Structure 1
Amino acid sequence: MPNIQTGGQVFDLAFHPTHETVYTALLTGEVKAFQYDEQGNSTLSFEAKPSKKSCRGLSLTRDGAKLWSVGKGKAIHAIDTTTGGIVESKTAAHEVPINRVKYLMPWMFATGDDDGVIKLWDPRQSECIRSHNHHFDFISDFLYLEDKKHLISSSADGTLSVLDVRSKKAEPYAQSEDQEDELLSLLPIKGGAKVVVGTQQGVLSIFNRKKGWGDCVDRVPGHPTSIDALCSIPSSYPSSINTILTGSSDGLLRVVEVLPSKLVGVIADHGDFPIERIAVDKGGEGRWVGSAGHEELLKLTDLKEVFEDESADEDEGAQSLANADSDSDDGDDSDAKSSSSTMDKNTSKPTAEASKVEAEEDDGDSSAEEDSDAEAEAPKRKRKQEKDPFSRKKKKDRNEVTVATGFFSDL
């Protein structure tokens, strides 16, 4: 597994949508860009230091030409990804440190700070377009639903909110009930029909867009610690519609299937360092997933080795099963031939001997019928099925899925 040495603790990362380049936001306030090849070998492309204080968030424009950065310095900076130069700055953009930034459309991006304030910006204007203060704790993540022009925000205050970026109202379009847990990460699943939320207690909360944003419709416990980052896998894999990557504070990068829910496996381990950001290159359709925690490096994991090897194993198993079926068919044919020859020999016996054989066969048939009657009267035992740790139980509480608490404990 290739590692990119960054020279500082990584707070955020962003991949260029078309080039083999990854950008990292560092505790030192620097923004470093690295180019990598098919083997994961990397070289430093440029480094910029827009602020002396830590850089916490990055977001690229759709074409990858401009990189927005925010951090503890309360300012917003735009970096030219070709030259590495700072082309635009908005000082004192927030009253407190900024935690997240999200590109929405060519003339709009959003920022969220430690006090829960969300601001919408037009790069052509010096002041923000609108400001929203319905959250009272830090903004942990953003998700933009382009079909409805809705910006979803998660907060440590335990609520999720939806903003219609076309509206001029200060109130949100919708806001969830208090989920009684810190909401840390957001990701669309099922083709965007549902949104999964990672929480502090290690539960994946599922919201259904058609049923509104008031409360989650499903809860999938299982992670032993907080789920700080979520990411989807490339759409080229058949299971991409319900398979996600989760980055947890226990340092493990997991592949998890949601609805039906099960752990597929662990693909990266950061040891004692928590994973706070994960992303897939080439706009989410590439082969590398980058994961960053409280280390001075960025880990790259090859998704082809994870998913394509698994597909090869499945194909090999299917071929073996087909060969076994073929062998079984040949065996049946030989048994049939043997039975046929035996019947021919029996028919050539004298009449008296044949009658004796028929009498013995009649006695055998009657005993077989008695045995079958005895089996019919005896109660049949049902084979006890193994318990699935992610199976849905019949429950009294609404919108909950009961899962074994130690599901991830051995990993």
Structure 2
Amino acid sequence: MPDISVGAQVFDLTFHPTESIVYVGLLTGEVKAFGYDEQGQHDQRFTLKPSKRSCRGLTVDERGDRIWSVGKGKSLCTIDTRTAQITNTQLAAHDAPINRVRYISQHFLATGDDDGTVKLWDPRTPAEIRAYNHHFDFISDFLWLPDKKHLVVTSGDGTLSVLDVRSGKPAPFAQSEDQEDELLSATAIKGGQKVVVGTQMGTLSIFNRKSGWGDCVDRVPGHPHSIDALCTLPSSYPSSHSTILTGSSDGLIRVVQLLPTKLLGIVADHGDFPVERVVVDRAGEGRWVGSVGHEDVLKLTDLKDIFEDEDEGGVGEGDSEHVGSEDEGPSITAPGPVEEEKNDECSDSDEPEPEDPKSKKRKKKQAKDPLAKKKEKKGRNQIVTDPSFFSGL
């Protein structure tokens, strides 16, 4: 699909949960809605300006009837998507510019600001339900875990916290130790049992809920720049339980499989613009992934074209580790596994085992940083890969 020009820098986007409509929040304070179809055609549905200051965050309810916008103006605005009208504006909802907003359920809405304050709201009432002040730097992302009614909060202060929305106490259910890095994004894998967090230094930190929230259990370095956005693949793909899309400030959206860890390819390229948000339509179960950066366009990439190849002779999921070897033809743009904490560099035996020359060549090739951006020129949003590679996903 061609890029959708929106007229100003995009800060956030959200999709209608059941219809082919996408909403974007702009630097100008405007909220715009666009419709799109499977043939790549799009049209503008409405334009509203809830605030004169920038719109930093958007969220939509489970039916798509309302969206909420927040931003530098510190207000919380409600928009009726059916009438394209602003139905409510909560002025001075925070004392600092609001950075993120997340719809949780019919009676809960969460907002987080630049000073680290998180507030829970009931959309039916004008005042907040509770305010949390345990973070001291900007709130970067929210992740909802419905099984325990827990809201995971990431912050620039280097900690992750968990809020139990059922509790009446203005204190977190749990908070991690200082991770010594800004935490910028979060998503869940393994059926929600593990939480992946993107950091400023380009490391993916993995928290295991069964092990508690005190510290991460794994770290996966390798991204050359910060990981500002994360999301999971639709559940229709066999590997969705452990595969994520990462949006980095080097402009690339990567497909990364975790546990075991390997880079599977590059979905989209924003050029020199950092990727700020990555979202899959239809409540995460659709075919289009929307991404935005520091540019005045919304990029929609068709996951179906990338992952659902019709070649029945393609490489299956179990054979993916062999892709990229010299005798198997073309490989993805950056072959080889994602570099982990390098604990595997020490062999189990002190005596080296004999290896054939081909094996040595393959190991040398995999030692390159697979997540680094290649210097070779390629077309915009082009993926250099054997089309059959993703057929097993």
TM norm structure 2: 0.83
For 1:210, the equivalent position in structure 2 comes to: 210
Contact 2:288–2:302 at 8 Å: present in 1 too?
Answer: yes
Is residue 176 of structure 2 the alignment partner of residue 176 of structure 1? yes
Shift of 1:255: 0.7
For 2:372, the equivalent position in structure 1 comes to: 409
Shift of 1:313: 4.2
For 1:73, the equivalent position in structure 2 comes to: 73
1:315 to 309, 313, 316: 313
For 1:301, the equivalent position in structure 2 comes to: 301
Shift of 1:405: 7.5
SS of match in other structure, 1:315: coil
Amino acid at match of 1:278: V
For 1:148, the equivalent position in structure 2 comes to: 148
Shift of 1:88: 1.1
1:51-101 Cα deviation digits (max 9, x unpaired):
000000000011110001000000000001112100111100000100000
Amino acid at match of 2:277: R
Larger radius of gyration: 1
Shift of 1:2: 1.8
Change (3 A) 1:83 1:224: same
Is residue 289 of structure 2 the alignment partner of residue 289 of structure 1? yes
Counterpart CA distance in 1 for 2:373 and 2:298 is: 25
Amino acid at match of 1:192: G
Q: Number of paired residues?
A: 337
For 1:28, the equivalent position in structure 2 comes to: 28
Counterpart CA distance in 1 for 2:53 and 2:14 is: 19
Counterpart CA distance in 2 for 1:93 and 1:266 is: 39
Counterpart CA distance in 1 for 2:371 and 2:54 is: 33
1:10-409 matched pairs, under 5 angstroms = 10-309=10-309, 312-313=310-311, 315-316=313-314, 381-383=354-356, 386-387=362-363, 406-409=369-372
4+ residue runs of structure 1 moved beyond 2 angstroms? 312-318, 380-390, 404-407
SS of match in other structure, 1:259: coil
Change (3 A) 1:157 1:37: same
1:309-347 Cα deviation digits (max 9, x unpaired):
2xx4463468xx9xxxxxxxxxxxxxxxxxxxxxxxxxx
SS of match in other structure, 1:104: strand
1:2-54 Cα deviation digits (max 9, x unpaired):
21110111000000000000000000000000000112211000011000000
Return the structure number with greater helix share.
1
Counterpart CA distance in 2 for 1:381 and 1:219 is: 31
Amino acid at match of 1:265: G
Report the identity percentage: 65
Change (3 A) 1:381 1:172: closer
Counterpart CA distance in 2 for 1:314 and 1:100 is: 43
Amino acid at match of 1:222: G
RMSD: 1.9
Counterpart CA distance in 1 for 2:312 and 2:175 is: 44
Counterpart CA distance in 2 for 1:167 and 1:103 is: 18
- Is 225-234 or 380-389 further displaced after alignment? 380-389
Contact 2:250–2:373 at 8 Å: present in 1 too?
Answer: no
SS of match in other structure, 1:134: coil
Change (3 A) 1:406 1:49: same
Shift of 1:387: 3.4
Change (3 A) 1:20 1:186: same
For 1:394, the equivalent position in structure 2 comes to: none
Change (3 A) 1:92 1:266: same
Contact 1:221–1:405 at 8 Å: present in 2 too?
Answer: no
Counterpart CA distance in 1 for 2:143 and 2:124 is: 23
SS of match in other structure, 1:304: helix
Amino acid at match of 2:24: T
Contact 1:389–1:407 at 8 Å: present in 2 too?
Answer: no
Shift of 1:410: 4.1
Shift of 1:126: 1.5
For 2:326, the equivalent position in structure 1 comes to: none
Counterpart CA distance in 1 for 2:208 and 2:44 is: 42
SS of match in other structure, 1:152: strand
Counterpart CA distance in 2 for 1:288 and 1:301 is: 6
Change (3 A) 1:89 1:389: farther
Amino acid at match of 1:108: F
Counterpart CA distance in 2 for 1:159 and 1:388 is: 37
Counterpart CA distance in 2 for 1:49 and 1:117 is: 25
SS of match in other structure, 2:191: helix
* Gap runs ≥5 in structure 2: 320-352, 375-393
Contact 1:139–1:153 at 8 Å: present in 2 too?
Answer: yes
Change (3 A) 1:388 1:264: farther
1:370-402 Cα deviation digits (max 9, x unpaired):
xxxxxxxxxx94445643998xxxxxxxxxxxx
Counterpart CA distance in 1 for 2:34 and 2:373 is: 35
Counterpart CA distance in 2 for 1:2 and 1:18 is: 22
Amino acid at match of 1:407: P
Amino acid at match of 2:282: K
Amino acid at match of 2:92: A
